[in-house]
Every structure is written in C-alpha cells, then in structure tokens.
Amino acid sequence: MEKATSTTTADVAATKRKLSLPQGVEKLVQLLKRYTNLLHGGFGALCPLSLSIREAIAALEKYLEGAQDSMSERTLASILWTIFKKTKFFAI
C-alpha cells in the first residue's frame, strides 16, 4: 500500500489495521496539544476550535493523578469522539 500511486477504501480496509487509543490521560493530553499546535499554525492563535480544545486540556490536567489513572479506555475514546465532533462542526 505504501508503494501504491492511489489508494481506495477497499485497500485501506484490506490492511486490517485497527485504530488505537492513547494509553492514559498523559498520552491523550500530549496528542491534543499536538493537535492544537497544528490548528494554531493553520488558523492562528484565536482559532475557536483550538481555544475549545485548550479548555479541555486544562480540565484534564486539573484531575488528580489517581483520577487520571482510573479513566477507562471508553472515557478516553469519548473524549476523542467529542473532539472529532467539534472538529467536524468547525470544518462546516
């Protein structure tokens, strides 16, 4: 697939690659910070999506370490899903 000049959805589905979640809140925050840096670079410091995600990052960082460690994969996936929906709304 890396050598292909074009890729179809069937090619991607055939790879059987599964999506993975960041392992823990620390990795999730790191991923979100990278994403906000991308948004900042593309849309500037006052990008509404970037500001919204920064608020989410600040909220996640306020949790005590024990609370962060007890977050399930389902919770992390829900946070990422929310960010995805916000991104979709922003794109529209």
How many structural domains are present in the chain? 1
In this structure, the number of other CB atoms found within 10 A of the CB of residue 39 comes to 21
Say how many CA atoms lie within 13 Å of 36 toward its Cβ.
20
pLDDT attached to residue 32? 94
Query: What's residue 5's pLDDT?
Result: 64
pTM for this one? Answer: 0.73
Q: Per the domain annotation, does 19 fall within a domain?
A: no
Domain coverage including residue 42? 26-91
In a domain, 83, yes or no: yes
Asked whether residue 4 carries a pLDDT value surpassing 60, the answer given is no
Q: Quick: pLDDT tens for 27-73.
A: 999 999 999 999 999 999 899 999 999 999 999 999 888 888 888 88
pLDDT of residue 65: 86
